[in-house]
Chains A and B, each alone.
Chain A
């Protein structure tokens, strides 16, 4: 069978499809937004941890006797 020119394959019609398209599309977009926001939150947490480390480092350097 020849593929359609636009590259999309036709939907197989002999099976009974029960899943609606709209919920799948909404879930797909929701996953994308949730993943990006979660990743931004993770980056923010790491940045905060780094800031704590820098503060700790500054304190150590301040306490260190000068040579």
Chain B
């Protein structure tokens, strides 16, 4: 990503992150069933979307690494894997805050929540394997990432298949028209923020990789 693109992206993300809370708290109506706590939805859903997006990016990079031994693929996977853990953590922390008010409980072991927790744990294992497993564990970690991505469609449709009190997948499509500007502004801003974090992390991973090469070269 060029410096100019990064600067424009940062500006757009900052504007979006300023506009989103104004739209959420001043313009969007209070949801009639859940009340004010539903405002968490505007940040919770984009975080979940980014968790899924980076899971697929990590799996694609991991597949390239497994099949073609692509170094670039491995770097992309490492950067994306970390963001799966970050955004997954945000989903797993903001969800219970919403649930506490809406359901009266911090956590229920229903299929959506449990499978999301499992996905997050798979990617924590992915990072741990990369960090502490040595060079050979990178292939094992790549396999874990592909396995994790296979879980995403199941997590997404789980609320439509199994009985759960978690909102269904239609919730975005059938959103009150008054809530849409707030939701899509928040969605765009958080997505932009996620992509910027990814660009930063990827640049760092590439630089780290180059430094490792140089160390090896100096030892020759």
A residues neighboring B (CB under 8 Å): 3-12, 15, 17, 19, 21-22, 24-25, 27-29, 31-32, 35-36, 39-40, 43, 46-47, 50, 53-54, 57, 60-61, 64
Contact = CB atoms under 8 A, between A and B. Distances in A.
A40 to B, nearest CB: 8
B157 interface: no
A38 B39 CA distance: 23
Interface stretch (B70-78, B100-108, B119-127, B129-137): B100-108
A45 B123 CA distance: 22
A8 B38 contact: yes
A47 B211 CA distance: 12
Interface centre among B102, B165, B176 (most CB of A within 10 A): B102
The number of chain B residues touching the other chain, given as a range, is 35 or more
A39 B86 contact: yes
24 contacts: A3-B168, A6-B175, A7-B171, A9-B165, A9-B167, A10-B33, A11-B102, A21-B101, A22-B36, A24-B100, A27-B97, A28-B40, A28-B44, A29-B21, A35-B86, A39-B86, A40-B197, A43-B204, A47-B204, A50-B208, A50-B211, A57-B211, A57-B214, A64-B218
Given A7-B171, A57-B211, 12 more contacts: A6-B174, A8-B33, A9-B33, A10-B33, A29-B21, A35-B89, A39-B197, A43-B197, A43-B201, A50-B211, A57-B214, A64-B218
Contacts of A54: 211
Nearest to A5: B174
Nearest to B168: A7
A41 B98 CA distance: 28
A6 B36 CA distance: 16
A4 B176 CA distance: 13
B39 to A, nearest CB: 5
B43 interface: yes
Interface string B91-122: 00110011011111000000000000000000
Task: Report, nearest first, the 10 A-B pairs whose CB atoms are least far apart.
Answer: A7-B171, A21-B36, A21-B37, A7-B168, A28-B94, A24-B97, A28-B40, A10-B33, A28-B97, A7-B170
